Structure 1
Amino acid sequence: MDETTHHTDPDTSGTLDEALERLHSSGPERDGWLSNHAPMAVEALVRNGQAAAVHRWLDYYRAKLEDMPDRFAEVTPANWQEALGDPRRIADWAAYFERETAGRPWRDVLAEWWPRLLPGIAGGATHPVIRVGHSVRTLLTAEESGPRVRELAHALGYWAARHQPLPPPAPLAPVRTAGAALDAVPRVPDQTGGILARLAQITAFPQWRGAVPAGADEARAGLAELVEAAVHRYARYGHGAPVMLVHAATAPNAVLRTLPALPRALWAPSVGAAWAASAAVTAAYSPAEAAVLPAGYGASLTAEEVFARAAAHGDDHTIKFVDTALDVGGAPALAAALRSVELNPPAL
């Protein structure tokens, strides 16, 4: 059921469609497994009034793009289960979802695949679901176009190819608020390896009560609480892994952005997956000690000024985190956004 109000398309210049068309010959990864952040970053730039910066940013990012990999074996309605989680079939999955979204409404395709993909939300270090969230936001709040629907197809295909269920963690003590739950997540013992090695060490999560909502409205409220808590927490803990810890906020926010495009019956099951993703990133990368920020840190800046700094800074993770922080709003979120600009190395 759609509860989204359509707004004036923020991109009257056509920049987003041009950028997406430029990007769709590229694959979703480079160097074997690093994610292509360009479709997500350009959507955030356009959304936040920085469309004029998009093509310059893409010129910088071009060196990080690789062609879409070769096809491996066609994905069909009969064999999709065996193809799920097979990164050799990234191009096959993209083609599958291009066919699906060409043949029927994108919302129907999304609703069919959302419950199939959710258990693998941690796949690709949560980048596939984040890419889906950026794509759905545009489709819900702006005009539909071929490149925008194709972007959703590529995002879903990336998620299907990198689908990776987490092992079910043992339950720890119940915790009432999302912020307290994130604080109670045990850090993995060995924080020297990559994300796969870290995720493999996760054994238990606190039972955040918001992860099992009673209904759709409670699910939306719980997700908003989780996103806010993760954004606020970044200000104090982001120094531990400035790039990776942004995903503790951007992954659940991608789910929150997608809810209005989904049947309400799918909202409640979405919260547990979002919590698992946020908690997993927190467990894998959170430092032992919190930073202490100066009183009034970032208080003199507006949301527009902070995003302009992120756009000038140019780092893709920073752009996306600041975009999520502005969804949360308020002084603590702006402080976290500014912190991400300062912690991550500038790209431009």
Structure 2
Amino acid sequence: MQHQSEQPATGRSRAVRLDSFGGPEVLDVREIPAPQAGPGQVRVRVTAAGLNPMDWIMTADADTAARFGLSLPAGFGTDYAGVVDQVGAGVTGFAPGDRVFGGALSRAIADFVVVDAVGGTAANEAHHTPDGVDDRTAATLSIAGRTAAAALAVIDPGPDDTVLIGGAAGGVGVFAVQLARTAGARVIGTGSATSADFLRDLGAEPVTYGDGLADRVRALGGVTAAIDLHGTETVHTARELGLPDDRICTIATKLDGVPAANGANAPVDALEEIARLVAEGRLRVPIEASFPVEQFRPAAELQASRRVHGKVVIDL
């Protein structure tokens, strides 16, 4: 049975679009035909969209975009939160008015997105937003939460572990630190000197990255596992400290012998568990800045600077 919202079946939608690959300068807000929910799909009226480094990485050039299945013209942004306003034939479990969050690959910054009701990846999914989780926060969970959960699943930390997390103040880091702490592990997080208080607030012991990192970590008592969320420095440090490769994980690069993780490898129930922890107040998502959709370009530039502590969100 198909339920239609009070929105007209046809209409227009604002959406951030690009006609050529490149940086934030190629993005523009356009008016496009509003997408319609087909069989097995739901349409969501988006209220907030969270930004991730992958948003601009995969639209930076044609070769990278092709690896993600993107072609021009393309949209921008993947994480979203909002309200179901249209339900296609054959859909169960969703109804107009339901608050939802999830992922819509490179098309989330728009008034409307259409996703499969039974999705399993951050590229195309919807989940019910728990009471107690606001839309801005819900719009930050999909990519970063899945990625952090996938990395934690590789090293499987417990109360006897001390985990070194490289790039701990970034969008994935805020989840990785808190999920490791929830598992009972001690966490040492690398970051700039200015991020020390931020990392302490998350539950990590801060250590500055750069030359001499292994000595600084050793002075804190050493580590039993490591996740590198930025490049390779944390991997090399972990190896220098004697960690076997199977207790090290990367997300941003690949090194022979070291397991790599991405959101597609996250446990099936990872996102629901993260949302539950947020609703219970056991996991918080620091939002450094939010922008109205008309200011999407400064928002994208801030995200691309890689100097963000927490998340950047677009309001629609």
* TM-score, L = length of structure 1: 0.23
Which is richer in strand? Answer: 2
Bigger radius of gyration among the two: 2
Looking at secondary structure, tell me which structure has more helix per residue. 1
